[in-house]
Amino acid sequence: MRRACLLLVWCWPALLLAQDYPRKDVDLAQWMEQLFPFQDEDANYEDLYENLAQLLASPMDLNRASEEQLRALMILTNRQVERLLAHRKENGSLLSVYELQSVEGFDLETIMKLMPFVTVRDPLAHVDRSWVNQLFTGKSNDFILRYERTLESRRGFTEAASEASRYRGSPDKWYLRYRNHRPGDFSVGFTAEKDAGESMRWDAANHYYGFDYVSYHAQIVNKGRVKNLIIGDFQTQVGQGLTLGSAFGIGKNAESVATVRRANMGFLPYTSVFEAGYMRGAALSLRLTDKLTAHGFYSSRLRDANIETDSTESRGSATSLLLTGLHRNQPELENRHRLREQNTGAVLSFKNQKLDVGAILHQTRFGTPLLRNNNPYNGFYFEGTTNTNAGAYLNFNFASSTFFSEYSHSLGHGHAWVAGLLMNPAPKLEMALHLRSYARHFYSFYGNAFAESTGVQNEQGAYWGWKYLFSRKHILSGYVDFFEFPWLRFRVYRPAGGFETLVRYTHVFSRGTSAFVQFRQEQKDRNVSADAPTYRVAPATRRNVWFNADYQATPRWSFKSRIQLSDFTLAGKRTLGFMALQDVSLRLAKWRFSGRFALFDTDDFDNRQYTYERDAFLAFSFPFFSGRGMRHYVLAHYQLTSQVDLWLRWARTEYTDRQRIGSGNDAIDGNTRNDVKLQARLRF
């Protein structure tokens, strides 16, 4: 009876509107900057961004979302996830998102933050159980066409480039994406891309048809015993990502608690344009009992690689795997799809309300042996044709805490393990502890576990993160991470270590108006000189301070102001960096305008300034700036109809300390660079 009264108060308006409740507009820039407060490594942020942004295109159903899917949102605390699942088990399906107000621990701010990413299907409405019928008649089609171009000419497109290095295609970049998706039911789609400099042509001998890159998939979910089936391109996220980790894994950031634990998502369709981060074949999750599930997959595809042939010319070795996905000139085309890679794996998982445990077996086989280069730091890089990993993961919920862990062993080589704890020791305090140990001869080609480095190898560390809500207006978060590298690394030719810490204080003045100050410091060793056979190593210290304010002056006008300061010290030499930016956004009927003006001044590349920029839907912009100059862009979004959206973006960078931008074939003669982008999105 109590639940019925609550629903009358909170859900009756939503039921009258047949679930078409007003969704809060999402500020993707603010969301991304919370997850990516800095970027010092060339990590695959674009792939991660697209995976997360997919939640906007296909909001998950709160009545069908699993514990791992809820955690993957990185919005809810450990306690909130547990209480939502308990509420759903005790009271049955939710009738509206607004019913979350009756769940203990959910305040209005959390609900408003959650609303853009979730939905609740009306349980009183008729649901057609035929996914085939929904595939052809449902209104869940999403089509995107994007065009980009740099207006200035780059060296690779001119006669100044040699015949071999000259780009074969036009300076235009094209992106095409189609997806028909019903969360928890099915998904079909494809993604195609032509990078600037790549040609559109037909080459059957090299499996090159039109677009340089094409990805595709077909998926069905929850069909009898078939829990998940994907044919085509897919990615995997199992355990804590030691063996199988997709791009959902996020490293250290200002969201210092929720992002530490990896969500055990299983198999996911691949729709990104990162050409080295996916598998191609088939993946199946079969429900054996209510608690026991068997997972298996097989993948076979060609990868870009540099192949060197031996003297007999009958057999070669792959000296490197190439990750750029660029095939613009003769050398890049020669390395395109040179190496056959096969992946086979199986996972057996058991899950009940508190325990989630599983065993993992994964093998990667290359058609040509990998041979590492003779450099001091890569003495333990993988060599050979076959790598097999076997391991297990265990997650356990107790009280208001969650223990998570995974162990993996590269057969015949080394091992790796992680263990951590998420807890709420007090109602307003969240904490995360994380320990990790990755052997120098552990190999995982699809691992993406929590780490200081970009790979899961040669690292030990201990992390402590916290988040304290003094009130809804005052939030303090941060972390400290200590790490060691038992073997040499790139630019560090001795075993070394370091630490990193971040503190952010946020003050919320009102809805739409907030400010934060953030301090980050990282110290780790680096080579000072390279006078072989000895190398002098010294600690390098990097510090960053941010002052940021977001404020909404009127329902139409909003602003962002920020100052970024940095310094870098190595061997007694200190250099500085600075960036100041001002954003303006305007909402006007069917129009959305946003723009930025920024100034930057850095002494060197070590003080380069990263900042996220607003862009078209599913387009990602996170550039860095080094030297002296200014940056500005304008983005216009027009909603032509309820089904058609159009975007136009222009960005300009002007340097005051140089007359050439970039290097090599990407060099631009002059001190300015202008980029334009047009995008259309059709939903039907």
| C-alpha 86 chain-centroid distance | 30
Which of 415, 418, 414, 396 is CA-nearest to residue 405? 418
Residue count (the chain) = 684
Q: DSSP class of residue 23?
A: P
Distances (CA, A) of 6 to 94, 114, 460, 596: 12, 20, 50, 45
Q: Is 164 helix (H, G, I), strand (E, B) or coil?
A: coil
Task: Look up the pTM and report it.
Answer: 0.88
pLDDT at 16: 32
CB 119 within 8 Å of CB 94: no
For 188-200, the pLDDT digits (tens) are 999 999 999 999 8
pLDDT of residue 461: 96
Q: What percent of the chain is predicted at pLDDT more than 90?
A: 57
Lowest-confidence range among 310-314, 330-334, 492-496, 568-572?
A: 310-314
Please count the CA atoms within 13 angstroms of the CA of 442 that sit on its side-chain side: 28
Q: Are 267 and 283 in contact (CB under 8 A)?
A: yes
The SS3 of residue 66 is coil
* Structural domain boundaries in the chain: 1-35+59-125
Element (H, E) at 50: helix 45-57
Note the pLDDT of residue 2. 40
Q: What is the pLDDT of residue 312?
A: 55
The beta strand positions in 102-169, using DSSP E, are: 118-119, 141-150
Ramachandran angles phi, psi of 219, nearest 5°: -140, 140
Judged by DSSP in three states, 169 sits in: coil
* Helix, strand, coil share of the chain (percent; to 5): 15, 50, 35
133-147, 297-311, 541-555, 623-637: lowest mean pLDDT where? 133-147
Quick one: what percent of the chain has pLDDT higher than 70? 86
8's enclosing H/E stretch is helix 2-10
Mean pLDDT value across residues 160-180: 93
pLDDT-derived band at 29 (thresholds 50, 70, 90) equals low
pLDDT band at 122 (very low <50, low <70, confident <90, very high): low
Q: What CATH number has the domain spanning 1-35+59-125?
A: 1.10.150
**Average pLDDT, stretch 503-532?**
88
Each residue of 542-592: pLDDT tens digit?
999 999 999 999 999 999 999 999 999 998 999 999 999 999 999 999 999
| Torsion sign across C-alpha atoms 200, 277, 178, 641 | negative
Q: Reduce the DSSP state of residue 421 to 3 states and report it.
A: strand
Nearest CA-CA partner of 430 in 483, 481, 476: 476
pLDDT of residue 23: 43
DSSP-derived letter for residue 157 is G
* Cα-Cα-Cα-Cα dihedral sign, residues 67, 263, 62, 216: negative
Mean pLDDT, rounded, for 529-546: 82
Q: Which of the pair, 100 or 43, is modelled with greater confidence?
A: 100
pLDDT above 70 (res 218): yes
CA dihedral 117, 120, 126, 129 (to 10 degrees): 50
Q: How confident is the model at residue 116 (pLDDT cuts 50, 70, 90)?
A: confident
Judged against a pLDDT cut of 60, whether residue 28 lies above it is answered with no
State the Cα–Cα distance between residues 562 and 504, nearest whole angstrom. Answer: 14
User: Could you count the other beta carbons within 10 Å of the beta carbon of residue 624?
Assistant: 15
Q: Is the dihedral of CA 42, 47, 49, 52 positive or negative?
A: negative
The larger pLDDT score, comparing residue 570 to residue 530, is at 570
Which pLDDT score, from 0 to 100, does residue 338 have? 92
Please name the residue ranges forming H helices in 124-211.
Answer: 131-137
Q: Shortest CA distance to 279 belongs to which of 303, 248, 243, 262?
A: 303
Please work out, in degrees rounded to the nearest 5, the angle formed at the alpha carbon of residue 343 by the alpha carbons of 287 and 176.
90
More confident: 26 or 205: 205
Q: Which residues contact 317 (CB under 8 A, 6 or more apart)?
A: 307, 308, 310, 368, 369, 370, 371
Is the pLDDT score of 445 beyond 90? yes
Q: How far apart are CA 442 and CA 455, in angstroms?
A: 10
